[in-house]
Amino acid sequence: MKRLPFEWLEEIIRLSMERIVVVDRDGIIAYIDDAYCDFLGTSMDKAIGLPVQEVIENTRMHIVLETGQREIENLQPINGSVMIANRYPIIIDGELVGALGTVMFPDPDNLRLYKNKMNKLMEELNFYKNKSVNELKSKYTFNDLVGKSAEFTTVKILGERVAGSDSSILITGESGTGKELFAHAIHHSSLRSEYPFVPINCASIPESLFESELFGYADGAFTGAKKGGKEGLLKVANQGTVFLDEIGELSLTSQSKLLRVLQENEIQPVGGQKTEAVNLRIIAATNRNLAKMVKEGTFRQDLFYRLNVINIELPPLRKRKEDIEAISRSLLLKLERKFYRNGTDLTPEVIKALEAHNWPGNVRELENVLERAINVLDGNRIELIHLPLYITDKEVKPQNTSYSGNEVTVNLSSSHFRPLKETIEEVEKKAIIQAMELTSGNKLEAAKLLGIGKTSFYDKCRYYGIK
């Protein structure tokens, strides 16, 4: 096949609407056409042999050489104009040897088309930007924190009092006591309420991703990095509040990196060359004993003192039982919206049973119990039959239970004990009877409700004489 002369190829490139640059494996310019050079304010003699980043503004040719992936119809600002850029890896005999880049100077028709495309993209960007801003606002206020017990009122007043401060706050308490709700309320009442509230679950971020998630990363920082880089969560929260939930789960290495941010008020994105100043209010929370962890060497003492400027310890639900009815009714309103119900009420017997329970899972457990009740409810009144057996069954329940910290001590005399087999059978029989009542005698539905097979359910009914 006859090859085209080089002069023909150059003329074809000149006639094309696209301007071309070719780089070798090291990102050095091997070819660039005259028209592209004129636009860039240089010449072929000066440009060829230089690294592409030194000649073309906002180029990503070096990124294509790293990833081996083509990039099509990217918008690239150059010399005050927005160009349409395409970038392709050049692969010869299975080996990546360089890259080809093209940019297009649109004609009026194309320019109008791309302008419309840009307007659409900007509309979508503004929509998601507004959506993300709304999602970063605090969702709860102190009015949403229900309870009038002395223990709860004391910590609520303390929270309201310190909300206007910029000092770090450490919220402690058992799991399910509402630490995140408290953090939301504090931010809402603070001088930073118009700025972002960014919750970060420290237990859910792998140590390998801790820096990139919190500090962000620069463009091309590592293989697979998002084009253009990414803002870290701490930068997103700038001028606002960062809520570090489960702070006790951080490794010592991650603790050191976080401490530097708190000390210097600046972050350095992964792969970035410059530090960026941030202005943050820190609220941390944990259900662990950080002071004990400091003594054991698993939590940095200096970080502990940075976080524990103001300590708010939320009381467990068992120490504020007079609040249980009010909390239950508040949770029911929330659940009614979720399940499209209205006018759901609690019988006095149910309230008494809820107040008698010790709630090791605190408010989260209470919400779980009420959600279960609504799921099996026919009318609008939650009765004892709708509650789990472990709350309503008094015969298998310990009679004397005392609490010390997170530990439970049960005091039973021998008269309270029965053979385990009898206890289990009695509970099982009650569960089957309740399931039958809830399903109006439909054994198949009752078996599904109990999570057992149809054959097993029929066998148990025969064994207990249930018809």
CATH of the domain at 29: 3.30.450.20
Judge if 293 and 188 occupy the same domain. Answer: yes
132: in domain = no
Q: Are 25 and 96 in contact (CB under 8 A)?
A: yes
Judge if 197 and 257 occupy the same domain. Answer: yes
Judge if 221 and 276 occupy the same domain. Answer: yes
At 227, the pLDDT band (50, 70, 90 cuts) reads low
Give the whole-angstrom CA distance, residue 431 versus residue 440: 14
At 223, the pLDDT band (50, 70, 90 cuts) reads low
Judge if 184 and 304 occupy the same domain. Answer: yes
Q: Hey, how many other C-beta atoms are within 10 angstroms of the C-beta on 418?
A: 11
For 164, the 3-state DSSP assignment is coil
pTM of the model: 0.58
Token reading at 100 = 């080809």
Q: How many degrees, rounded to 5, is the angle at CA 330 between CA 329 and CA 334?
A: 115
Judge if 291 and 160 occupy the same domain. Answer: yes
Q: What is the pLDDT of residue 7?
A: 81
Q: Are 100 and 87 in contact (CB under 8 A)?
A: yes
Q: Which residues contact 119 (CB under 8 A, 6 or more apart)?
A: none
pLDDT in tens, 302-335: 999 999 999 999 999 999 999 999 999 999 999 9
Judge if 464 and 379 occupy the same domain. Answer: no
pLDDT in tens, 366-387: 999 999 998 888 888 999 989 9
Last residue of a domain, one of 41, 74, 104: 104
216: in domain = yes
- Residue in the block written with tokens 């929370």: 285
- Which domain, by its residues, includes 268? 142-315
426: in domain = yes
Token reading at 404 = 């010390």
131: in domain = no
Q: What is the pLDDT of residue 398?
A: 41
For 82, the 3-state DSSP assignment is strand
383: in domain = yes
Residue type, 184: H
Q: Which residues contact 164 (CB under 8 A, 6 or more apart)?
A: 189, 190, 191
Judge if 147 and 280 occupy the same domain. Answer: yes
Q: What is the pLDDT of residue 400?
A: 45
Judge if 358 and 250 occupy the same domain. Answer: no
Q: CA dist 351 to 322, 382, 400, Å?
A: 11, 10, 20
Mean pLDDT across the stretch 76-102?
87
Give the whole-angstrom CA distance, residue 454 versus residue 458: 6
129: in domain = no
Judge if 249 and 298 occupy the same domain. Answer: yes
CATH number of domain containing 186: 3.40.50.300
CATH number of domain containing 391: 1.10.8.60
Task: Give the chain's domain count.
Answer: 4
Mean per-residue pLDDT over the chain, rounded: 84
CATH number of domain containing 460: 1.10.10
133: in domain = no
Q: Assign residue 216 a region (left: φ > 0; alpha: ψ between -120 and 50; beta: otherwise).
A: left
Using alpha carbons, select from 264, 267, 259 the residue that is nearest to residue 300. Answer: 259
What's the number of CA atoms in the CB half-sphere (13 Å) around residue 71?
24
Using alpha carbons, select from 208, 207, 228, 206 the residue that is nearest to residue 217. Answer: 228
Judge if 178 and 289 occupy the same domain. Answer: yes
Q: Are 327 and 320 in contact (CB under 8 A)?
A: no
Last residue of a domain, one of 263, 293, 315: 315
Judge if 406 and 442 occupy the same domain. Answer: no
Q: Assign residue 365 a region (left: φ > 0; alpha: ψ between -120 and 50; beta: otherwise).
A: alpha
211: in domain = yes
Q: What is the pLDDT of residue 224?
A: 61
Q: CA dist 164 to 42, 154, 185, 186, 196, Å?
A: 57, 17, 11, 8, 16
Mean pLDDT across the stretch 13-22?
82
Last residue of a domain, one of 104, 132, 150: 104
Judge if 192 and 329 occupy the same domain. Answer: no
- % of the chain beyond a pLDDT of 70: 85
